[in-house]
Structure 1
Amino acid sequence: MEYRVIEIFSSIQGEGEVIGVPSNFIRLATCNLRCVWCDTKYSWEKGELISIEEIIKRLDKTLPATTITGGEPLLQNIVPLALAIKEMGQRIVVETNGTIKPHEELRKIVDVFSVSPKLSNSGHKIAYNFTDDWATYYKFVILYTRKDLEEVVRFVEENGIRKDKVIVQPDGNRKDYEIALKELAEAVMDLRLPFRVLPQLHRIISFR
């Protein structure tokens, strides 16, 4: 079986609950969204067709985890790929925008579903349905601090998701990233919100 791939590399996980974990990354090609602030627009391309065998060959077997990301990885059937990675004994993280629900078979294989629902600041208005709360955690990009946080609160209430699963992070494109992170942290405290504030580690430390 072959997959459309943009790149395969290893690095430190930069965000979410798995922040700081050394990981392989498989960036699959194409996306069903076009977020205005997307920092991986190159993943919208068609990519290169690569077989499962070749993908596995390129992974660092000494690392504890492999992250399947995009683009939107669930546009492709990643069950066979996930099974092959699991046979290596690695944890599997799938980063998805949450517009496509994973099949039950995939849910049994994947260890972490890092889901990034898009707020209106992305340029999209999406009718999500997380009533079964299938994500491991939900990660929101915040551009307009108070306005976006209020939208996150509404999102959580409307979808009935657990507040302790919610992570908020500042816009990674801001040049004054540390200030943006401080502003977000202060707003979360002022509004008495139970959400976790986490940075994108790769915005603070330059690595790959």
Structure 2
Amino acid sequence: MDYWIIEIFTSIQGEGDVIGTPSNFIRLAKCNLRCVWCDTTYSWEKGTRMTLDEIMAQINNNVKTTTITGGEPLLQDIFPLVRRLKEEGHKVIVETNGTIPPKKELLELVDVFSVSPKLRNSGHKLSYDKVEWATYYKFVILNEEDLKEVSSFVSQRRIDPKKVIVQPDGRREDYVNALRELSTQVMNLGLPFRVLPQLHRIISVR
């Protein structure tokens, strides 16, 4: 089984429910979206074709958590890759935009699905189902209107607010201020969502 790969590296997980966890990262090539604030536009490229054995040879086996990300990783058949990682004792996290539902066999293997539905601020107007397979949801927030859109998204789909994470625009040079502003907006609106940073915006972890 071959995959189109952008990069493989080991670092600290910078966001979501698993923030702060040492992890291998396998960034798969290509994406079905073109979000205006995307911070990994290089993942839209074709990448390098690699076999499963070649990928595994680059994994740090002393780190037993591996994140499969993109781009949009579910554009490729990641089941053989996930199965191989699980056979070698890895916890597997898949970061996805939620537009491509995973097959049942993949749902049974993956430990964490980090799902980032795209709001209108992404430049897209997408229709999502409940995405019941999500372990948690992450939303990029540019302004207060985005928070109201998230609130509507969550209430319409009866999503548990405990599974919802909001984070500020990673393009902001004053990132700490952006984080502070978002925290204030969440409190002022009385929303039950968690505010978390992207850790790699604050410290260099790679």
* Category of TM-score, reference length = shorter chain: over 0.9
Q: Write the distance in 1 (CA, Å) between the matches of 2:156 and 2:127.
A: 11
Q: Which residue is equivalent to 1:200?
A: 198
Q: Structure 1: 5+ residue runs without aligned partners? A: none
Equivalent position of 1:57 in the other structure: 57
Secondary structure of 2:93 counterpart: strand
Shift in Å, 1:206: 1.3
User: Aligned residue for 1:140?
Assistant: 139
Matches within 5 A, 1:1-208: 1-130=1-130, 133-144=132-143, 146-208=144-206
By how many angstroms is 1:26 displaced?
0.2
Give me the whole-angstrom Cα distance separating, in 2, the residues matched to 1:86 and 1:139.
25
- SS of alignment partner, residue 54 of structure 1: helix
- Secondary structure at the aligned position of 2:113 is classed as strand
Q: Which amino acid aligns with 2:195?
A: V
Say which is worse superposed, 151-160 or 32-41, in terms of deviation: 151-160
Aligned-residue identity in percent: 65
| Residue 133 of structure 1, CA deviation | 1.6
Question: What displacement does 1:87 show?
Answer: 1.0
**Letter paired with 2:202:** I
1:140 aligned counterpart, secondary structure = strand
How far did residue 22 of structure 1 move?
0.3
* 3-state SS of paired residue (2:108): helix
* Alpha-carbon offset, residue 190 of structure 1: 1.0
Distance in 1 of aligned mates of 2:96 and 2:134: 10
Q: Distance in 2 between matches of 1:57 and 1:29?
A: 19
Q: Point out where structure 2 has 5 or more consecutive residues left out of the alignment.
A: none
| C-alpha distance in 1 between matches for 2:107 and 2:150 | 25
> What amino acid maps onto 1:70 in structure 2?
G
Distance 2:80 2:64 in 1: 19
Alpha-carbon RMSD across the aligned residues, in angstroms, is 0.7
Query: Residue 99 of structure 1: CA displacement?
Result: 0.3
**Which one-letter code corresponds to 2:205 in the other structure?**
F
Count of residues in Structure 1 that have an aligned counterpart in Structure 2: 206
Q: Deviations over 1:52-79 (max 9, x none)?
A: 0110110000002000000000000000
3-state SS of 1:98 partner = coil
Paired with 1:158 and 1:74, the residues of 2 have a C-alpha distance of 25
Normalized against structure 2, the TM-score is what? Answer: 0.99
